[in-house]
């Protein structure tokens, strides 16, 4: 199954649930850097196999945020027709919450699996998005 097909499945489910964007980190309930196969959702959706990265999917766009250790790997593995690579730490590259605030309208709904992020990260995401009424 191609990346575009996988993203279409997710987007169809998002429409069904009234969700405007999904944040898919690399973690598991233990916040392990190397999760078991069951929790490699970001990898399955994006084909990016690096251990650090966050995929964000909206109805129209998708982006993968990763750090400099994985820039070359991400460029090689991503379907750039379906997913834009955002190189964290590079000048002019927004954080994924900033990007969401740019592409979503106030009142939009964003989903994240609370089992795959820390409480502090979830609070940070919520705080940043609420500034734009998301």
pLDDT in tens, 24-68: 998 767 877 777 778 779 999 999 999 899 999 999 999 999 999
Name the pTM for this structure.
Answer: 0.93
Closest listed residue to residue 60, CA positions, set 97, 98, 94, 20: 20
Backbone angles phi, psi at 115, to 5 degrees: -75, -10
Strands 84-87 and 21-24 come out as unpaired
- Is the confidence at residue 107, as pLDDT, over 80? yes
Tell me the C-alpha distance between 117 and 57, whole Å. 17
Q: What is the pLDDT, as a whole number, of residue 89?
A: 93
More reliable by pLDDT, 39 or 106: 106
Contact of 87 with 64, CB cutoff 8 Å = no
Residues 30, 34: Cα–Cα separation, whole Å? 10
Q: Which residues contact 22 (CB under 8 A, 6 or more apart)?
A: 10, 14, 56, 57, 110, 111, 112
Q: Averaged over 96-100, what is the pLDDT?
A: 97
Instruction: Map out the domains of the chain with their CATH numbers.
Output: 3-130 (3.40.350.10)
């Amino acid at each position: 199954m191609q990346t575009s097909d996988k993203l279409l499945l997710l987007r169809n489910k998002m429409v069904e649930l009234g969700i405007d964007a999904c944040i898919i980190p690399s973690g598991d309930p233990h916040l392990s850097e190397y999760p078991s196969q069951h929790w490699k959702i970001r990898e399955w959706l994006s084909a990016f196999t690096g251990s650090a990265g966050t995929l964000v999917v909206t109805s129209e766009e998708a982006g993968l945020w990763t750090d400099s250790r994985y820039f070359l790997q991400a460029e090689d593995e991503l379907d750039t027709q379906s997913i834009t690579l955002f190189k964290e730490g590079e000048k002019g590259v927004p954080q994924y919450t900033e990007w969401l605030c740019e592409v979503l309208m106030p009142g939009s709904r964003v989903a994240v699996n609370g089992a795959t992020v820390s409480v502090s990260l979830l609070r940070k995401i919520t705080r940043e998005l609420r500034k734009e009424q998301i």
